[in-house]
Amino acid sequence: AQTVTQSQPEMSVQEAETVTLSCTYDTSESDYYLFWYKQPPSRQMILVIRQEAYKQQNATENRFSVNFQKAAKSFSLKISDSQLGDAAMYFCAYSAPYGNKLVFGAGTILRVKS
Amino acid sequence: DTGVSQDPRHKITKRGQNVTFRCDPISEHNRLYWYRQTLGQGPEFLTYFQNEAQLEKSRLLSDRFSAERPKGSFSTLEIQRTEQGDSAMYLCASSWKRRGTGAYEQYFGPGTRLTVT
């Protein structure tokens, strides 16, 4: 069974600085998808970024980018120019292709200091 | 489109009562998923539908849980004889296949928070 591990329960970053959230996963599949979701306090889950395992190029979405290391089964999220609105719980998730379900990590709480 | 909606947003019930939650997906999405999230944890998959067909159920989905999507649009999740351990956030998500890839991006609703007293 696939598993997703987020080893940082909590991270802090100063406003306008850069922070990296870590995620590792375990799978025997060669083709899959990885996602980062953001869940602000008492608000719904929002998709931040997606990475296809068959793509070598790391995905980017504005201030958000990933470092995808397929051999190491590592998928970290970098947030540049952090803003107060980035404060949230961040979840890393795995999906098989033609996906039936997402497998989530336990999450990392990100605090942004002004 | 207003996104995935769920009703009710909060439900307090006494142990042993039955509860039913509703999810309305994004209209063009053919897949609908249910997850359960306990405080401080990531969501755990319960079940999913493609159109009206229920294609997978987790072992977490005991006999007391049943989900339906009768016309391939909205879905309901019913919990019979609720237990205190059922207290959680129940999340619904919907998706469709992104053209040109095998990716199904899931979009989540606000959730229904269930408290069993």
Closest chain A C-alpha to B107 CA, distance in angstroms: 7
Contact A47, A34 (CB under 8 A): no
Q: Kindly report the nearest CA distance between residue A51 and chain B, in angstroms.
A: 9
HEC profile for B24-90? ECCCCCCEEEEEEECCCCCCEEEEEEECCEEEEECCCCCCCEEEECCCCCCEEEEECCCCHHHCEEE
Predicted confidence band of residue A70 (pLDDT cuts 50, 70, 90): very high
Mutate to test the interface with B, among A101, A108, A109 (most CBs of B within 10 A): A101
- pLDDT value at position A5? 97
What DSSP designation does A104 have? E
What is the overall mean pLDDT for chain A? 94
> Which positions in chain B touch A99 (Cβ < 8 Å)?
95, 102-104
Lowest mean pLDDT: which of A52-56, A104-108, B34-38, B95-99?
Answer: B95-99
> Using one digit for the tens of pLDDT, what is the confidence trace for B17-31?
999 999 999 988 889
| Mean pLDDT, range B64-70, rounded to an integer | 95
Q: Using the beta-carbon criterion (under 8 Å), do B91 and A45 form an inter-chain contact?
A: yes
Residue B104 burial class via C-beta count within 10 angstroms: exposed 0-12, middle 13-18, buried 19 and up: buried
- List CB contacts (< 8 A) between A35 and chain B: 105
Q: Report strand pairing: B31-37 vs B88-95.
A: antiparallel
Distance CA A5, CA A102 (A): 13
- Per DSSP, what are the bridge partners of residue A46? A38
pLDDT score of A97 more than 80: no
Distance (Å, whole) CA A89 – CA A27: 24
CA–CA distance, A67 with A45 (Å, rounded to integer): 22
pLDDT given for residue B102 in this prediction = 66
Confidence band for A56, pLDDT divided at 50, 70 and 90: confident
DSSP structure class, residue A86: G
- Nearest by CB: A106 against B41, B102, B106: B41
Q: Are A49 and A57 in contact (CB under 8 A)?
A: no
Partners of A106 on chain B (C-beta within 8 Å) are 40-42
Of B100 and B110, more confident = B110
CA distance B43 to B37: 4
In the predicted model, is pLDDT for residue A100 greater than 90? Answer: no
Q: What are phi and psi of A85, to 5 degrees?
A: -70, -10
Model pLDDT, residue B69: 95
Chain A hits for B48, CB-CB cut-off 8 Å, are 100-101
- For A54, which residue in chain B has the nearest alpha carbon? B101
